[in-house]
Homo-oligomer: A and B are copies of this chain.
Amino acid sequence: MTRTAKELAELIGARLEGDGAAEVQGVAAPERAGARDLIYVEAAKHSERAGASAAQVVVAQPGLSLSGKTVLRASNAKYAFAKAAAILRERVPIARGVHPTAIVAPLARVHASASIGPYAVIGEDSHLGEGTEIGAHTVIGAACWIGDHCRIHPRVTLYSGVRIGHRVEIHSGAVIGADGFGYAHGEGRYLKFPQAGIVEIADDVEIGANATIDRGSLDDTRIAEGVKLDNLVHIGHNVKIGVHTVIAAQTGVSGSSTIGDNVIVGGQVGIADHCTLESRSVAGAQAGIPTGKTIRSGQTVWGTPAREIGKFKEIYVWYARLPELAERIKELEARVGKG
């Protein structure tokens, strides 16, 4: 969608410097941009790339000089650029209308403006809100509730009873609401412990490709507003995740753990069962958090078993110097004698 620099500045809350009539209709990296692509610069070291770009309009942090360009000045240039991109870029529709091959159960309630792709299956008593798009081959179980303006890509599975808020995006291959991994052991075998809870996902959540979120056992699994889960993330039964928490790819959260608000979890982190990551804590990539452990609010942890990053580094620096320590012990022994 084409916008003038002036229009865009207003829409994203930036200060216009230069030609307000300059038109933009897409976003790009500086090297790939055409005259009508919007680019952005965050750091002085990238000013040259921006200056050399064919782009006419640049979102830039205060203090960066960009002669010859129309500048949309914003203190958080990356965020302003993302806002602009959301305006300029048309999203590829996931479905258009309800495809004749879609199977919608008689008692499903589908908003007139919702779209359903080829071969999608919508279960009995499920609800699809206004403007929500369901991709080809996606299977929505019975009694699911999906809010407005959701984007459920092709080949997603929702087991029965999953509840999804508004503006949620779920990528292909994700499986929401499968049974948790819970068994009772007896008579030499494992018997399934009831997985009778549901999954609740709040507004503005995004879930990556092939991620899995299990339903609760006797409780529910709950993902709060604004949470972003990357590809191949695993969320176990009864897990609670607070608002605006982000979890990078291939991380696993075991049953009944609680993650607070605005937590950042790196890739391939393992969080065992019954852990608590308090709000604003950070777990570095590949960290391992043992059963029942609490990570305090604001704390950053690394390693397996995870410990506070300052402590981790204090130990780690000596780990790296172990051969030297061993040599020094040997020298001391040579001087003192071994007895």
Contacts and interface: CB of A to CB of B under 8 A. Distances in A.
A139 interface: yes
A52 interface: no
A175 B183 contact: no
A178 B172 contact: yes
A249 interface: yes
Interface string A139-183: 101100000000001110101100000000101110100110101
A44 interface: no
A252 B251 CA distance: 10
A136 B267 CA distance: 32
Interface stretch (A3-11, A15-23, A63-71, A190-198): A190-198
Contacts of A28: 196, 218
A158 to B, nearest CB: 9
A40 B188 CA distance: 21
A250 B249 contact: no
A244 B206 contact: no
Interface residues of A, number: 110
Contacts of A81: 184, 193-194
A250 B248 contact: no
B315 A320 contact: yes
A77 to B, nearest CB: 9
A92 interface: yes
Interface in A83-142: 83, 85-86, 89, 92, 101, 103, 117-119, 121, 135-137, 139, 141-142
Given A28-B218, A337-B335, A339-B331, A85 B193 contact: yes
Given A191-B79, A226-B190, A270 B267 contact: yes
B228 A183 contact: yes
Contacts of A196: 26-28, 85, 89
A254 B249 contact: yes
A218 B89 CA distance: 12
A323 B318 contact: yes
Given A81-B184, A89-B196, A103-B119, 19 more contacts: A27-B196, A29-B218, A32-B219, A82-B183, A82-B186, A82-B192, A86-B192, A118-B119, A155-B155, A171-B178, A173-B210, A178-B231, A183-B228, A212-B231, A230-B234, A232-B234, A250-B250, A319-B319, A332-B333
17 contacts: A26-B196, A27-B218, A28-B218, A32-B218, A76-B184, A81-B194, A135-B139, A137-B155, A153-B159, A178-B231, A189-B204, A248-B254, A249-B254, A315-B319, A325-B326, A328-B329, A329-B329
A-B pairs with lowest CB-CB distance, top 10: A79-B186, A29-B218, A82-B184, A85-B194, A318-B322, A175-B209, A157-B172, A79-B184, A178-B209, A181-B230
